[in-house]
């Protein structure tokens, strides 16, 4: 991995930050998540852990001394997460970065890797995990505790432009899901890619914004994590994103969205995926 401390990070969303994001598929924004947002995320994750939702998943492999957990789509029932989604400036920050006229929330998703956890996210990109196609889709990811580059995520520079999709994998066993993956590449060749690797030392308040197609993984995916790190992903899509069931492996979320009234091959139009930029409650 490129351990050079000289990988740029940005204090404001300016043209340099935009160019970096477009070129590499990921950008580090320093201090973009304010104290209020961190508090909302902290309290929201704590409440969500204490009261798991429909999509709670324990990804801890057998024999691991510590847990790797995640849960998603909790913002409607957990107050801190609702405020983070509806009242924060994070969607506007993303809209400014990618030049989006409007953004809808695609998903709120927290992750917890406890000290000692021997499991983490394998090489993947987010696109194949979701029933959202087309348009502009981005993830804003931030740790709630300081996270060195070895404790956070590593990205393959420019992989959002490779024009191929990789098989989505189970985060517990690191094996592809079941289903017809004829159109997807096996992720085995990703590790040997000579694309530059990008990772940053992060303080609480810093965030990474990345394209749905940018390949990434937990940096030290197999080594025990030295300290517990909570992480929050907020996924956003612009007005051109369409709901289109992807395959057997997304069946549970497909049925969930259909039950809420989302129509197939239609723009996002469902209470779970609200417009968050510009703020739909204004005007």
Ligand X SMILES: O=C(O)CCC(=O)C(=O)O
Binding site for ligand X (CB under 6 A): 111, 113, 120-121, 126, 139, 141, 216, 218, 231, 233
Specify burial of residue 218 (Cβ count, 10 A radius: 0-12, 13-18, 19+).
buried
From its phi and psi, is residue 126 left (phi > 0), alpha (psi between -120 and 50) or beta? Answer: alpha
Label residues 52-89 b or e (16+ Cβ within 10 Å = b): eeeeeeebbeeebebbbbbbbbbbeebebbbbbbbebe
Nearer to ligand X, 158 or 267 (CB): 158
Partners of 207 in beta bridges: 29
Choice between 80 and 120, CB closer to ligand X:
120
> In the chain, which ranges are E strands?
26-29, 57-58, 68-72, 103-113, 132-133, 137-143, 153-156, 197-198, 207-211, 216-218, 229-238, 242-243, 266-267, 275-277
Q: How far is the CB of 155 from ligand X (least distance, A)?
A: 10
Q: Which is nearer to ligand X, 40 or 111 (CB)?
A: 111
Could you tell me the smallest distance in angstroms from the CB atom of residue 32 to ligand X? 16
Q: Which of 96, 137, 91 is nearest to 13 (CA)?
A: 96
Cβ nearer to ligand X, comparing 125 with 277: 125
Q: Which CB sits closer to ligand X, 95 or 144?
A: 144
Q: Which is nearer to ligand X, 44 or 120 (CB)?
A: 120
Shortest separation between residue 21's beta carbon and ligand X, angstroms:
16
End-to-end CA distance of the chain: 48
Least distance in Å: CB of 137 to ligand X? 11
* Nearest approach, Cβ of residue 103 and ligand X (Å): 17
Q: Which residue is nearest to ligand X (CB)?
A: 233
Shortest distance, position 36 Cβ to ligand X, whole Å: 22
Q: Starting from the edge strand earliest in sequence, which strands make up the sheet with 132-133, in order? A: 132-133, 242-243, 266-267
- Which sign does the torsion angle of CA 170, 76, 99, 183 carry? positive
- Measured from the CB of residue 213, what is the shortest distance to ligand X in angstroms? 11
Distance CA 88, CA 133 (A): 26
Dump the DSSP string for 32-43. -S-HHHHHHHHH
My answer on whether omega of the bond before 12 falls inside 30° of 0, hence cis, is no
How far apart are CB 136 and ligand X at their closest, in Å? 16
Nearer residue to ligand X within complex by CB, 207 or 278: 207
Nearer to ligand X among residue 16 and residue 222 (C-beta): 222
């Amino acid at each position: 991995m490129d351990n050079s401390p000289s990988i740029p990070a940005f204090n404001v969303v300016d043209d340099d930050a935009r160019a970096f994001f477009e070129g590499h598929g990921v950008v580090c924004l320093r201090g973009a998540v304010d104290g209020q947002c961190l508090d909302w995320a902290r309290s929201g994750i704590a409440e969500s852990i204490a009261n798991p939702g429909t999509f709670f998943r324990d990804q801890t492999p057998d024999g691991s001394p510590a847990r790797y957990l995640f849960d998603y789509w909790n913002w409607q029932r957990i107050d801190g997460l609702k405020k983070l989604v509806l009242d924060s400036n994070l969607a506007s920050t993303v809209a400014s970065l990618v030049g989006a006229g409007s953004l809808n929330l695609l998903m709120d998703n927290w992750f917890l890797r406890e000290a000692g956890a021997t499991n983490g996210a394998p090489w993947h990109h987010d696109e194949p995990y979701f029933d959202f196609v087309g348009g502009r889709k981005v993830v804003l990811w931030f740790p709630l505790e300081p996270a060195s580059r070895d404790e956070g995520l590593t990205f393959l520079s420019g992989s959002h432009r490779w024009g191929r999709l990789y098989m989505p994998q189970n985060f517990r066993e690191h094996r592809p899901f079941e289903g017809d993956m004829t159109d997807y590449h096996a992720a085995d060749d990703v590790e040997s890619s000579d694309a530059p690797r990008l990772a940053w030392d992060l303080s609480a308040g810093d965030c990474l914004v990345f394209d749905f197609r940018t390949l990434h993984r937990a940096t030290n995916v197999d080594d025990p994590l030295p300290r517990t790190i909570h992480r929050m992903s907020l996924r956003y899509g612009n007005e051109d994103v369409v709901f289109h069931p992807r395959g057997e492996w997304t069946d549970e979320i497909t049925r969930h969205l259909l039950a809420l009234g989302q129509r197939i091959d239609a723009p996002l139009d469902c209470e779970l995926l609200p417009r968050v930029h510009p703020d739909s409650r204004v005007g």
